[in-house]
Structure 1
Amino acid sequence: MQDTLQRKFYRKEMEVNALLEITQAVNNNLPEVDLYKIYEFTLRANLQLSKMVLYVKDEHWECKVQFGTKKDFTTIPIDSNCFNLKEIVALKEGDLSISCFNEFDIIIPVTHKEKLLAFVFIKTSEEENGVDTTFIQALSNVILVAIENKRLARKQLEQQSIQHEMELARNVQNYLFPDVLPDTKKLEIKAFYKPCNTVGGDYYDYIPVPNENQFLVCIADVSGKGMPAAILMSNFQAVLRTLSRNAESPEQIIHELNHQTWHNAKGENFITFFLAVYDFDKKNLRYFNCGHNHPVLIAKDKVSVLSEGSTVLGAFDPLPFLDRGEIENIEEFSLFMFTDGLTETFNSEGEEFGQERLEAFLVANKDMELQAMHNALMKELEDFKKEKSFADDLTFLSCKVNNATP
């Protein structure tokens, strides 16, 4: 009788010491691998278990601890029959319903707030004098909840880091767009930008060239998203603005932009780009379309799509070809530029908005004020897609020139 009480007292003392050791390790914020080592040592040395396996639900179910087993359970997936177990179960000898785990006789599920965290498989023997499975369950719960909390904290830090990066990328991108666009009888420009995610890959710009009585407008779409795309587009904008002051011709701007994009992106990203330069004195419009969606020009009720140019920037260095588009003796016109998020807006039937529908809309509303036209276009897109969401960034820019002699 006294021996039995002493054994029970000794076992309880070991269990308390084990719990204290585990709690201290958790409080010391030890890495997961160390917590698993302490857990294994506690079960083997303090509780004198001879055989056990611990499966933990991380991204997938994985064997995190094993000792005394005949098989290597790190290579064996957990049996799906286990998932129905809610309480500690004693497996009868010869019961093969838990196929690969029949060398154990007890399965201990570990849960927290009704969430299944792990399974402990143990083998008892007469020498072990009745293992306290409830204590093993409690001990496993303490360490696994701690590991789960560490994992959640790590994910939260990762999310915060990603969010911080996205905020930086968004700030970088916002600096790319011009603060003020012209709004005069001679020249009016309006722009619309709606990123699909926190940070988009679209860019537009307006750059006046006062000494030559010209202005430059452009629109671009970089492959990729997030901070890399924002940095690439930021470098692109810096090069463009420098070249617009110093380059001898628009051709030189295009070739240098391509070279810099190739150099900065190492051929892994590319940029579709459209650039147009209008000369108020010569009354001509020069443009280059580098793999971009075709802008729509409306002049004297004639509709043209501007397609001359080259391939995307950053894919080849040097460019394989470069053709200049030029329209002479043009005094009054409207130019509509956009990225593919507009024409590739889909409805629930899988039909895209498309270039033809866009051109028809622009012709029908060519006399409307630019801002009102933009508002009407957004309503048209919303009515078209209905419950579908925009799958890509949505950017467009309208330019109206009235250069007729008074």
Structure 2
Amino acid sequence: MDTSQNINLKTREEILETKLTLQQLQFNRVLEITQAINNNIAIADLFNLYKGLLTWEMGIKKFALYTRNKDAWVCATSAGIEEKCLKENIEAYLPHYQRRQSVDEPSHPLLQHFSVVVPVYHKEYAIAYTFLGSDTLDDLDSQGYDPISLISAITNVIAVAIENKRLFKRQLDQERLKREMELAVQVQNMLIPSELPNNDQYEFAGIYQPHEGVGGDYYDFFEVGSGEVAFCIADISGKGIAAALLMSNFQANLQTLVHRKYLSVKKFTNRLNSLVLRTTQGDKFITFFIARYHVRKKRLRYLCAGHNPPFMYTQGKIQRLDKGCTILGAFPKIPVIEFGEIFLEDDALFLLYTDGLTDLQNENDDYFDDDHVEQFIQKNSDLPVKAFNEKLMEEVNTFKGKRSFPDDISVLTGRLFVNSSKNTEA
């Protein structure tokens, strides 16, 4: 064998050895990253590992890795690029890169630094983009080694791992939200009375239908003592868990104040307003209606604080209970407070409701408005309150058709027996 043949043979052996070494390098790097992922390494540490492999192990002088953070693409790690360039928004360019390809944007402040982009897709949507500068890529290619294939493999492994971590975190967040919702439902169930009175002096029944599982509506009934009872309804601005928790605080304060017999209407209202303002810091407000009825005196006193005035039906006539003041929690001090006082001469039916009832629309965009409610009361005033509410919900569901409920709906229906045979004077 002559000298030239020996040299060629040695050269082929060296090339083969180099290729085997580089293939082993590729295998080892992917294995290293896989083991780190199995050890549940933090996302920030994964990015640092990725950067180290590209810069120290492979000698890549310029690169940028972009990953999705919620709804935006951000540079997760980079090398060789000035910070001001990395602040450039490149989201408009990303949809054009659906495979490994050249980057030809010589006038772009950031993209001009790169020659190749390697996108990573999960199913049909992109989860990462690696942009690479031309420096050192040609040198690695000349060694019979495809660096982009290795970078693509490493990027794929890391991007999928990060996506899985985010999906897992999202699942944990959803589980936490589910537990919070369950807690809020429990709080809501404690707010809304499970049983309302039905005796010879008065009967009450309620409807509670939250828009999002839990809501900010509330109604209640109290036996105050000394022959007096009270009933109320309230609605806090907003929906969901926060509204339910704020309303639970309102209920606790209300129950404390409503049993203070000698507290004037003005002091009662101002104290309740101050407590609401302290809790909500002015970010939310509460509309509220409360009535106190003295059974022996047949006297009804009420206050309507910015709420939809309830309906009272007695002696064949409908009256709106609209005396009161402004909403609670909007102002440090309520400027004008008045209360209504009515002495009942006959049995009276009351319909208290939140605006979810009258905001309801049908498929023709007509509202279930006050006129509609008045007509319903006149037609069904003789029904017991529980049957009255059942008929009301039938009417509501028929009216809305396929339309959904836009808001929480709460109704408290009550009847005070004054002269009927069912009444027993206290």
Question: Shared fold (TM-score greater than 0.5)?
Answer: yes
Partner of 1:268: 283
Q: Choose 1 or 2 for highest CA Rg.
A: 2
Deviation at 1:329, TM superposition (A): 3.6
Between 292-301 and 63-72, report the one with greater CA deviation.
63-72
- Among 139, 159, 163, which residue is 1:144 paired with? 159
Deviation at 1:142, TM superposition (A): 0.7
Structure-2 change in CA distance of 1:56 and 1:310 (3 Å): same
The residue correspondences of 1:391-402 to structure 2 (distance < 5 A) are 391-402=406-417
Residue 242 (structure 2) pairs with residue 238 (structure 1):
no
Equivalent-residue separation in structure 1 for 2:105 and 2:307 (angstroms) = 67
SS of 1:137's partner is: helix
Equivalent-residue separation in structure 2 for 1:256 and 1:262 (angstroms) = 10
The residue correspondences of 1:101-120 to structure 2 (distance < 5 A) are 101-120=111-130
SS of 1:313's partner is: coil
Which string of whole-angstrom CA distances, capped at 9 and with x for unpartnered residues, describes residues 146-166 of structure 1?
111111122222222222222
Equivalent-residue separation in structure 2 for 1:126 and 1:239 (angstroms) = 75
- Among 1, 6, 10, which residue is 2:21 paired with? 10
Equivalent-residue separation in structure 2 for 1:268 and 1:50 (angstroms) = 52
Partner of 1:352: 367
Deviation at 1:320, TM superposition (A): 1.2
Deviation at 1:34, TM superposition (A): 1.6
Between 70-79 and 232-241, report the one with greater CA deviation.
70-79
Contact persistence 2:312–2:348 (CA under 8 A): yes
SS of 2:259's partner is: helix
Structure-2 change in CA distance of 1:250 and 1:273 (3 Å): farther
Equivalent-residue separation in structure 2 for 1:112 and 1:65 (angstroms) = 20
Equivalent-residue separation in structure 1 for 2:409 and 2:30 (angstroms) = 58
* TM value normalised by structure 2: 0.87
The residue correspondences of 1:235-384 to structure 2 (distance < 5 A) are 235-249=249-263, 251=265, 252-384=267-399
Contact persistence 2:120–2:126 (CA under 8 A): yes
- Among 387, 392, 397, which residue is 2:402 paired with? 387
SS of 1:246's partner is: coil
Deviation at 1:32, TM superposition (A): 1.5
- Percent same amino acid at aligned positions? 36
One-letter amino acid of the structure 2 residue matched with residue 54 of structure 1: L
Equivalent-residue separation in structure 2 for 1:65 and 1:262 (angstroms) = 47
Residue 193 (structure 2) pairs with residue 183 (structure 1):
no
Equivalent-residue separation in structure 1 for 2:248 and 2:83 (angstroms) = 57
The residue correspondences of 1:86-125 to structure 2 (distance < 5 A) are 86-90=98-102, 101-124=111-134, 125=137
Equivalent-residue separation in structure 1 for 2:403 and 2:244 (angstroms) = 27
Deviation at 1:366, TM superposition (A): 1.4
Structure-2 change in CA distance of 1:42 and 1:236 (3 Å): same
One-letter amino acid of the structure 1 residue matched with residue 40 of structure 2: N
Deviation at 1:72, TM superposition (A): 4.9
Equivalent-residue separation in structure 1 for 2:157 and 2:354 (angstroms) = 54
Deviation at 1:285, TM superposition (A): 1.0
Partner of 2:51: 40
Deviation at 1:51, TM superposition (A): 2.3
Equivalent-residue separation in structure 2 for 1:401 and 1:281 (angstroms) = 12
Deviation at 1:395, TM superposition (A): 0.2
Equivalent-residue separation in structure 2 for 1:378 and 1:74 (angstroms) = 59
- Among 26, 29, 34, which residue is 1:23 paired with? 34
One-letter amino acid of the structure 2 residue matched with residue 193 of structure 1: Y
Between 114-123 and 214-223, report the one with greater CA deviation.
114-123
Deviation at 1:359, TM superposition (A): 1.4
* TM value normalised by structure 1: 0.91
Deviation at 1:80, TM superposition (A): 4.0
One-letter amino acid of the structure 2 residue matched with residue 235 of structure 1: N
Structure-2 change in CA distance of 1:22 and 1:218 (3 Å): same
Deviation at 1:249, TM superposition (A): 4.5
Equivalent-residue separation in structure 2 for 1:71 and 1:250 (angstroms) = 66
The residue correspondences of 1:151-230 to structure 2 (distance < 5 A) are 151-210=166-225, 212-230=226-244
Equivalent-residue separation in structure 1 for 2:72 and 2:123 (angstroms) = 19
Structure-2 change in CA distance of 1:100 and 1:263 (3 Å): closer
Gaps of 5+ in 1: none
Equivalent-residue separation in structure 2 for 1:343 and 1:381 (angstroms) = 10
Equivalent-residue separation in structure 1 for 2:172 and 2:291 (angstroms) = 45
Which string of whole-angstrom CA distances, capped at 9 and with x for unpartnered residues, describes residues 226-282 of structure 1?
444333322222222223332315614333322222222223222111001111111
One-letter amino acid of the structure 2 residue matched with residue 127 of structure 1: D
Which string of whole-angstrom CA distances, capped at 9 and with x for unpartnered residues, describes residues 172-203 of structure 1?
12112223211124311110000001210011
Contact persistence 1:262–1:315 (CA under 8 A): yes
One-letter amino acid of the structure 1 residue matched with residue 192 of structure 2: F
One-letter amino acid of the structure 1 residue matched with residue 259 of structure 2: R
Partner of 1:50: 61
SS of 1:292's partner is: coil
One-letter amino acid of the structure 2 residue matched with residue 334 of structure 1: L
Equivalent-residue separation in structure 2 for 1:95 and 1:234 (angstroms) = 59
Deviation at 1:78, TM superposition (A): 2.7
Partner of 1:68: 80
Deviation at 1:27, TM superposition (A): 2.1
Equivalent-residue separation in structure 2 for 1:62 and 1:119 (angstroms) = 10
